[in-house]
């Protein structure tokens, strides 16, 4: 049984399917928790302090949206919380899942073009799914 679910979000419509899947998986499991994770990608070769105002603006907007998503889950009687972290998205998601002992990662994904399936190999969801040590559910 999955008890610690990580749902990385980027605030696109694709996230709705991942959230719905998380809700379905933990429904009726009072010991389960859903963590909504948003990664603010930092700009390489520029010191964080130099862009601090920009990053803090992104963080404030992300927090407002995460509170709304979290509220949706808690209204459905699901334990939920959110985290905002900085870094490279794929690496940060995988590291966070491992450090926090997540049981399942639920990622929004896109539909693969059947005529050009190799184009999906470089996507964030593919990169995370390949290297994550816990089970990964890709939701389209």
Banded pLDDT at 30 (limits 50, 70, 90): confident
Do 20 and 87 contact (CB within 8 A), yes or no? no
Average pLDDT over all residues of the chain? 92
Helix (H, G, I), strand (E, B) or coil at 138: strand
* pLDDT value of position 140: 85
Banded pLDDT at 36 (limits 50, 70, 90): very high
* pLDDT value of position 50: 95
* Model confidence pLDDT, tens digit, residues 39-80: 999 999 999 999 999 999 999 999 999 999 999 999 999 999
* Exposure class string for 57-87: b at 16+ Cβ within 10 A, else e: ebeeebeeebeebbebbeeeebebebeeeee
* pLDDT value of position 101: 97
Banded pLDDT at 117 (limits 50, 70, 90): low
Q: CA dihedral in degrees (22, 26, 31, 32; nearest 10)?
A: -10
* Model confidence pLDDT, tens digit, residues 5-20: 999 999 999 899 999 9
* pLDDT value of position 125: 86
* pLDDT value of position 81: 97
- Residues of the chain with pLDDT > 70, as a percent, come to 91
* Model confidence pLDDT, tens digit, residues 90-104: 999 999 999 999 999
Q: Which top CATH class is 4-139?
A: alpha beta
Quote the pTM value.
0.91
């Amino acid at each position: 049984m999955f008890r610690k679910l990580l749902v990385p979000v980027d605030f696109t419509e694709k996230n709705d399917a991942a959230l719905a899947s998380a809700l379905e998986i933990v429904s009726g499991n009072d010991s389960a928790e859903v963590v909504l994770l948003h990664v603010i990608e930092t700009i390489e070769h520029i010191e964080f302090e130099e862009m601090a105002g920009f990053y803090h603006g992104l963080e404030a907007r992300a927090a407002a949206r995460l509170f709304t998503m979290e509220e949706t889950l808690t209204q459905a009687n699901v334990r939920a919380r959110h985290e905002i972290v900085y870094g490279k998205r794929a690496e940060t998601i995988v590291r966070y899942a491992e450090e926090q002992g997540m049981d399942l990662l639920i990622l929004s994904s896109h539909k693969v073009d059947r005529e050009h399936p190799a184009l999906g190999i470089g996507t964030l969801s593919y990169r995370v799914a390949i290297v994550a040590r816990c089970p990964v559910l890709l939701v389209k």
